[in-house]
Homo-oligomer: A and B are copies of this chain.
Amino acid sequence: MRVLGIDPGLTRCGVGVVDGSVGRPLTMVDVGVIRTSADLPIAQRLVSIEKGLDAWIEEHQPDAVAVERVFARSDSSTIMGTAQASGIALVVAARRGLPIAMHTPSEVKAAVSGNGRADKAQVGAMVVRILRLAEMPKPADAADALALAITHVWRGSANTRLEEAVARAKAQQRKAPVRTR
């Protein structure tokens, strides 16, 4: 399967494409960063990110998209922009009907390094080793996007099956008649 990993951000949105399947070596297809200028209005920056992500999906035709899950407790000065960029990433993928998974930073760290509290350098080093790269992808956002894609190949399908089962159970519950006795 081919996965596009997206590390959302307003100034730097990391993108990385990985080919592979569980138990087989993974390959990096492409990696990069979509940058937008802080001088532009936020709306324009979000449109640039939308266009950039659309172009990445168009070029690489991924089977699934993995987006980093953002939390309110993160650094508050940039968190709103990150959340907005992640919303754009989700919409761009969902509009095309692509399966989407969200992974938390600690899930990604645990998946690639075995340690949910690994630092950026450790994650980057593991990405280099897993994908057998000649050098560390830069900036860190690009390496993080690859780490997300790797995480998704390794645990994404199990996740998706789980979510589908939960959705089915919820739907069943709604359909079931209410019994008062």
Contact = CB atoms under 8 A, between A and B. Distances in A.
| Secondary structure class of chain A's binding surface, majority of residues | helix
A80 B71 CA distance: 7
A94 B39 contact: no
Contacts of A72: 72, 76, 79-80
A85 B47 CA distance: 14
A26 interface: no
Copies of this protein in the assembly total 2
A83 B84 CA distance: 5
A22 to B, nearest CB: 23
Interface of A: 39, 41-44, 46-47, 50, 70-73, 76, 79-80, 83-88, 90-91, 93-95, 100, 102, 163, 167, 170-171
A-B pairs, 4 with minimum CB distance: A84-B87, A83-B83, A43-B94, A43-B90
9 contacts: A39-B170, A39-B171, A41-B94, A43-B93, A46-B90, A72-B79, A72-B80, A79-B83, A83-B83
